[in-house]
Amino acid sequence: MRKLAFVTVVIVALVAISFSPLLNIRHVSGNADYQLSAADENWLYSQNWLWHSAAWLGQNLPDNMTYQDVVVDKDNLFSVAITATQREPFIAIKSGGYFVVIDMYGVVLDLSLEPDAPYVIEGFEVTSAVVGKPLAADEMGLVERAVQIVYMFKTYTDYEPSIKLKGRRIIQKMTDDIYIDFGQGENVELQFNNALAAYQNIIENSGTSGIVNVSNPNQCIIEPLKR
């Protein structure tokens, strides 16, 4: 009985120690893209190295959304190494008197008075912009489709994306006198292909102005430009 009691006490003591701050993370390192923030640092050093998996630590980092492809590895005893990729600015959304800079996935990277991103879209009303969190805006579906159109112009053409929302319609400026009306972008891929074909036809026939209306994905209409 005494031996059993002794073993029980030892087991209880070991379990208690395993949950104590003595086994918390003591050292954090990161690759070139990862900068340890105060929030991440405070949180990591309060976590138990033994009981938390590396995957759980990576998923629950406070600044997880600031980076892409976050991987945490328990590289040594009481130590973790973090590998991450910095998110890249893709679009600056003009809202009121400032710009909300987001990456390709809609995560807010910065709020600025300058459009610190390769592309700008206008006419949208941002309702919530917290760095490291997904963007929230009125007509969020239209924002997502506008971003998709910008991506398609960037990837598949040499034309500069220049998107504005006018009357809940996504408008792309091709030249000072030729525009594409995507409507609400109900089928962006089909509308994009139809619009480019119509625009090329205008140029090949020496056209200098007009609106390529593909708001109906199954129809393409060339309308006169009204000033």
**Does 116 score more than 60 pLDDT?**
yes
**Does 210 score more than 90 pLDDT?**
yes
Q: pLDDT-derived band of residue 12, with 50, 70 and 90 as boundaries?
A: very low
Q: For the packed helices 188-204 and 140-156, what is the interaxial angle rounded to 10 degrees?
A: 50
**For tokens 């700008």, what's the residue?**
120
Average pLDDT in the 147-164 region? 93
CB 179 within 8 A of CB 212: yes
C-alpha distances (whole Å) from 121 to each of 11, 83, 86, 145, 156 are: 62, 32, 23, 11, 18
What is the pLDDT of the chain when averaged over all its residues?
86
Distance between CA atoms of 88 and 66, rounded to whole angstroms? 10
User: What pLDDT is attached to residue 20?
Assistant: 58
Which residues are bridge partners to 95 per DSSP?
Answer: 98
211-139-212 Cα angle (round to 5): 10
For the chain, what percent of residues have pLDDT higher than 70?
Answer: 90
Q: How many CA atoms lie within 13 A of 8 on its CB side?
A: 5
CB 64 within 8 A of CB 58: yes
DSSP for 55-77, please give it: HHHHHH-TTGGGEEEEEEEEEET
Average pLDDT in the 202-226 region? 91
CB 103 within 8 A of CB 112: no
**Does 131 score more than 80 pLDDT?**
yes
**What is the pTM (predicted TM-score) of this model?**
0.76
pLDDT per residue as tens digits for the range 18-37: 445 778 889 999 888 888 88
pLDDT per residue as tens digits for the range 42-56: 899 998 888 889 999
User: What pLDDT is attached to residue 90?
Assistant: 95
Phi, psi of 2 (to 5 degrees): -65, -40
**Does 16 score more than 70 pLDDT?**
no
